[in-house]
Amino acid sequence: MNSEQANTVSNSNLDNALTVAKFGGTSVADYDAMLRCASIIKNDTSNRLVVVSASAGVTNYLVRLGQKDVPATEQAEIIENIRAIQVNITQHLSSTVEAELNQEIDSLLTELSGYAEAQATEHTTKTADAILAFGEQFSSRIFAQVLQSVGVEGEYFNVQQIMKTNSLFGKAVVELIELDRLCGQVLAPKLVNKVIVTQGFIGQDANGNTTTLGRGGSDYSAALLAEALKATNLAIWTDVVGIFTTDPRITDQARAIKEISFGEAAEMATFGAKILHPATLIPAMRCNIPVFVGSSKEPEKGGTQIKKKVDSNPTYRSIALRREQTLVTVKSPAMLHASGFLAKVFSILAKHELSVDLITTSEISVALTFDNPVGSTQSIITNTVVAELEQLCEVTVEHGLSLVAVIGNGLNRAHGVGQKVFDTLEGINVRLICHGASANNLCFLVDEADANPTVEKLHRSLFA
């Protein structure tokens, strides 16, 4: 059977609506939070596949555990803290289930300790990923049992059986054709009479090693699974009642957006709106699967619908902010009237797998921006990269910058956009501006210290 046939067979069994529901870390943080998620699943029988993140805080502990030179006492403390988060949940389940789950948790924690010990002596990105993946392994096992406790036939499923990736630890790339085939063969038949609970964020390479898709990657896992299953909906349940005009943590003036197009939401995610992992909308757009974003704490408040066509296309839709940007300026008089200079610069960047975000050029210099992955301890632009670039030109590297993006429609054509935005920012040092290349965004860099005031001022001016 080829993958297409496999999917057709499985989908004809499923017959009607199929929603993939993803719950983020705060949604599965403790027993009460998990219970609220279980009600969401129970109240809508189209929810057949549940994708969970690690309980809030667990992945951050695991990140620390996966670092070099973590003292044994700190390792033990972290493992105890992780255990406490998980057993605080299991203690609310029946004593038999609690005992079974705690046994599984303890044997996983023993395995985790082994990895942590190995990592402290010889650090590898492979072991770091093996460590990072434990959070989702705990939460998915526990949530399947919480579902059972409310009368839903929940069953744990190890996503590594189907989420095959390359071996780029920390930001692994998923093998889409394999996912499609294996989803049809292994996962879809299980959805017919059970609600399957699986892990976001993690995968497995061809050698059987655990991989991860990058921080916040559970949204993306859920979207890929929705695509492979030809789901009718994807629901992202989080801690806010939808997508807002900007991060509600920056200004209390931010307001929820009822509906937004795929394109606008994808721009927001790409430009740093943490509510969605940057790649989440790619699979959804490919298959035209509508995405809902809402709060698992207040599901009755509704949320944001992300879809292909929406009724309104306002000039200004939202403001996104991405911190920890690096600005590299390369300068060479040889650039003047020369051809091939930029090609050489880009070939060095490509060799180091560095992806350029924004670019502006002048006669003798080029400014490029790079995104540092969330939580990374060292700059994405290493000394080796700088040394190689210096063979060609003068190089300046600046850190501590934030990228502000105004997202909307027809921004490159609407009259007075630049004036409205930059008049508002009088007194703020704006470093690099990209306007005109895209109809959907206008973005610029500011110093980190100016980031929040910039967003607040802009929000007041554009959304008052």
Q: Which span (52-60, 146-154, 174-182, 339-347) binds ligand ASP, by CB under 6 A? A: 52-60
Of the pair 196, 236, the CB lying nearest ligand ADP is at: 236
153 and 193 Cβ atoms separated by less than 8 Å: yes
Site map 57..76 versus ligand ASP, x via CB under 6 A: --x-----------------
Distance CA 399, CA 377 (A): 13
- C-beta atoms surrounding 244 within 10 Å: 24
Q: Which is nearer to Mg ion, 216 or 278 (CB)?
A: 216
DSSP states along 23-84? E-GGGGSSHHHHHHHHHHHHH-TTEEEEEE-PPTTHHHHHHHHTSTT--HHHHHHHHHHHHH
As a whole number of angstroms, the distance between CA 179 and CA 160 comes to 10
Of these partners, Mg ion, ligand ADP, ligand ASP, none, which one is at the site of residue 303 (CB under 5 to 8 Å by kind)? none
Contact flag: residue 216 with Mg ion (CB under 5 A): yes
In whole angstroms, how close is the CB of 124 to ligand ASP at the nearest point? 20
Contact 149, 93 (CB under 8 A): yes
Q: Which residues bind ligand ADP (CB under 6 A)?
A: 24-27, 53, 216, 238-240, 243-244, 246-249, 273-275, 318
- What strands lie across the sheet with 394-408, from one edge to the other? 359-361, 365-371, 316-331, 394-408, 441-447, 430-434
Residue 278 contacts Mg ion per CB under 5 A: no
CB 260 within 8 A of CB 306: yes
200 binds, among ligand ADP, Mg ion, ligand ASP, none (CB under 5 to 8 A by kind): ligand ASP
Q: Report the half-sphere exposure of 383 (CA within 13 A, side-chain side).
A: 0
CA atoms of 301 and 295, how far apart (whole Å): 8
Tell me if 54 contacts ligand ASP by CB under 6 A: yes
Quote the least distance from Cβ 463 to ligand ADP, whole Å. 12
Q: Would you say 238 or 454 has its CB closer to Mg ion?
A: 238
Distance CA 226, CA 8 (A): 14
Binding to ligand ASP by residue 141, rule CB under 6 A? no
302 φ/ψ sector (left φ>0, alpha ψ -120 to 50, else beta): left
Nearer residue to ligand ASP within complex by CB, 59 or 441:
59
Cβ 132 to ligand ASP, closest distance in Å? 8
Identified binder of ligand ASP from the candidate list 217, 242, 263, 294, rule CB under 6 A: 217
Q: Evaluate the CA torsion angle 261, 228, 159, 211 in order and state its sign.
A: negative
| Residue 243 contacts which entry, ligand ADP, Mg ion, ligand ASP, none (Cβ below 5-8 A, type-dependent) | ligand ADP
Q: Name which of 52 and 405 has its Cβ closer to Mg ion.
A: 52
Closest contact distance (angstroms) between CB of 428 and Mg ion is 29
Residue whose tokens read 């549940």: 50
The torsion angles phi and psi of 279, rounded to 5 degrees, stand at -90, 0
Residue span 174-203 as binding mask against ligand ASP, x where in contact by CB under 6 A, dash where not:
--------------------------xx--
Q: How far is the CB of 201 from ligand ADP (least distance, A)?
A: 10
Using the minimum distance from each CB to ligand ADP, give the nearer residue, 120 or 273: 273
The footprint of ligand ASP (CB under 6 A) covers 24-25, 53-54, 59, 135, 200-201, 215-218
